[in-house]
Structure 1
Amino acid sequence: MTSTHVVNVVKRLTNARKAGHGGTLDPLATGILPVALGEATKTVAYVMDAPKRYRFTMRFGEARDTDDAEGRVIATSDRRPTDEEITAALGSFRGTILQRPPIFAAVKVGGERAYDLARRGEAVELEPRPVRIDRFELVERPSPDTAVFEVVCGKGAYVRALARDLGETLGCYAHVAELRRLAVGPFELEHAISLSALEQIVKDETLPQVLTPVATALAGIPALAVTEPQALRMRSGHPIRISPALLPEAADEGGTVRVMQGGELVALARLEGAELSPLRVFTPR
């Protein structure tokens, strides 16, 4: 089931007018997929920018054209790295690194998705691009052929590419055998709801009790409380002036601020000097 299919099912079950998701999952992957409904769809771009946490199993000895278990084997090796070799190699994959996306990816090449070109057998050349890897750790070693890792990464990073490149660094080839997304920003798998559970929740008419407030998706953005007149002005699309002394410490010039009034999300605004200009305005409940 694709991420788009999940969104369509949720939209149908909840009778939502608008729905969107916070980051595509690979077809092989399981785990959490944040789905936004109604006004919350305005937060999707910010959720997609949030750090993501994965647990994955890597299989050594085989390179595959998709960089996961669903692809065709294109190279093999009898070499199996030791735990010490793996741990020593991980350091070069942390921080901001250059990563070449898998050829079976949604990246566009000349206006077409790379995976469409690859499926037609056309040569796909993707340029390496900078991505952020906040954490990359060896969790366990079930067998000489496999290893389990956890990774926390930023937008645009591919776990499949990490596995491929780590395998090449270790001189043994590798691909992702299993992949599970554990968290996207503030959203964690342990609080997720399955589609079957959602169907029952809708039947029981208890949906409002399980929906997460819109502001939760923006928890990583500095918050600023404003007065009711200021909130009304911002909701009308006008900028407001703020005393620098009232700005949150984490607010940066040109950065985004979460504007709140009476505990309710008013808008996302750009900070320019002492002025806040609305980027996204939210309808009051």
Structure 2
Amino acid sequence: MNAPSPNARAPRSPQIKRPKHKINGWINLDKPLDMTSTQAVGAVKHLLAPEKIGHAGTLDPLATGVLPLALGEATKTVQYMMDSMKIYRFTVCFGTQTTTDDREGEAMTHSDVRPDDAAIAAALPHFEGTISQVPPVYSAIKIAGERAYDLARAGEHVVLQPRSVYIARCSFIERLNADEVVLEVECGKGTYVRSLARDLAAMLGSCGHVSALRRTKVGRFHVDHAISLDDLPNYAISDMYASMDAWLEPIECALDDIPAVTLDATQAQRLRHGNSCFVPPSAFARNTGYVQEDGHELYQAYHAGRLIALVLREDRVVFPLRQFNLNH
């Protein structure tokens, strides 16, 4: 028998695929500092091995706080969680503008002007309501298929168009020192806190950037009730399913703004087969549904107290838009 060649590769051992778990719902995660949102998703994916997972709204590595994670069938509702109002508490450092509008960028310009508390508080109402805002150059917005931050890092001149965003309130919280103040903003989808800090400083005759940022609320998720990555392994190792109620929130958490319609068994069966069905007006919790950008009215469809689908309504007829496979 010939001896094996010294250069021969050892046979590969077969890879054992880790089983996926049927987990359907949301995790209210408190993202730690210096971790990307993608890394946070990866960490939870490794711990829990859900069939599907995604997040609802990126947080920069500099930012901490609420990062809603959708697992399993909840991934079908991510867009509605992203549409929820959000609250951020952030620190503005006056006197230095950076390339990224936060502390991670390089200093561009400097100013000796340090606005006092009264001037800052008086300026904040100018940023409430529907306003026009230019996103930071270092942002994930695409220009001709390329991310703005990739173009900026490559040294290209990036020009972003202003966008309309909604800010419900902007409040002065406290002064930390001569340079820094803490503010809080409640805002809608697409608002950049870095742009807000930059524009506020400019209005006050200075320049500035965000030196700290914490998202304290997204929809019904509050940071006071968020779970940390350090805690999740304990739940996963001890008995994941037995402890699930401690960290898993229902799919409906993303659907607070969408009214319900109650279906009988026949109507529910038609929806499950992808068909429309007639529904009497009395079955709708509200006369008007959640109005989408295309003008269609959206409802949550329930049967026997359980969510089965998202449906579009046209008068007395509902059509299935998203079905939830929850083995009900």
**Range class of TM-score, shorter chain:** over 0.9
Size of the alignment, in residue pairs?
A: 285
> Any gaps of 5 or more consecutive residues in structure 1?
none
- Note if contact 1:11-1:37 (Cα within 8 Å) is conserved in structure 2: no
Separation (CA, whole Å) in 1 of partners of 2:311 and 2:233: 36
Q: Secondary structure at the match of 1:32?
A: strand
- After alignment, is 88-97 or 223-232 more displaced? 223-232
Separation (CA, whole Å) in 2 of partners of 1:282 and 1:159: 35
* 2:326 equivalent to 1:284: yes
Tell me which structure has the larger Cα radius of gyration.
2
- After alignment, is 17-26 or 245-254 more displaced? 245-254
Q: Secondary structure at the match of 1:238?
A: coil
In structure 2, the residue matched to 1:137 is: 171
In structure 2, the residue matched to 1:155 is: 189
Separation (CA, whole Å) in 2 of partners of 1:115 and 1:20: 22
Q: Secondary structure at the match of 1:137?
A: strand
Separation (CA, whole Å) in 2 of partners of 1:281 and 1:207: 27
* 2:285 equivalent to 1:244: no
* 2:160 equivalent to 1:118: no
Separation (CA, whole Å) in 2 of partners of 1:66 and 1:279: 39
**RMSD value, Cα:** 1.4
1:262 positional shift = 2.0
1:207 positional shift = 4.0
- After alignment, is 17-26 or 140-149 more displaced? 140-149
* 2:78 equivalent to 1:44: yes
1:208 positional shift = 2.0
- Note if contact 2:263-2:283 (Cα within 8 Å) is conserved in structure 1: no
Q: 1:169 aligns with which of 196, 200, 203?
A: 203
Separation (CA, whole Å) in 2 of partners of 1:217 and 1:71: 34
Separation (CA, whole Å) in 2 of partners of 1:17 and 1:252: 29
1:197 positional shift = 0.6
> Any gaps of 5 or more consecutive residues in structure 2?
1-34
Separation (CA, whole Å) in 2 of partners of 1:145 and 1:89: 17
Separation (CA, whole Å) in 1 of partners of 2:321 and 2:122: 44
What do the CA deviations read for 1:106-156 (whole angstroms, capped 9, x no partner)? 000111000000111110000001011111111111223111111111111
Separation (CA, whole Å) in 2 of partners of 1:105 and 1:252: 30
Q: Give runs of aligned pairs for residues 220-239 of structure 1, distance below 5 A.
A: 220-239=257-276
- Note if contact 2:257-2:290 (Cα within 8 Å) is conserved in structure 1: no
Q: 1:21 aligns with which of 49, 55, 61?
A: 55
- After alignment, is 11-20 or 255-264 more displaced? 255-264
- Note if contact 1:47-1:185 (Cα within 8 Å) is conserved in structure 2: yes
Poorly superposed stretches of 4+, deviation over 4 Å: none
1:264 positional shift = 1.2
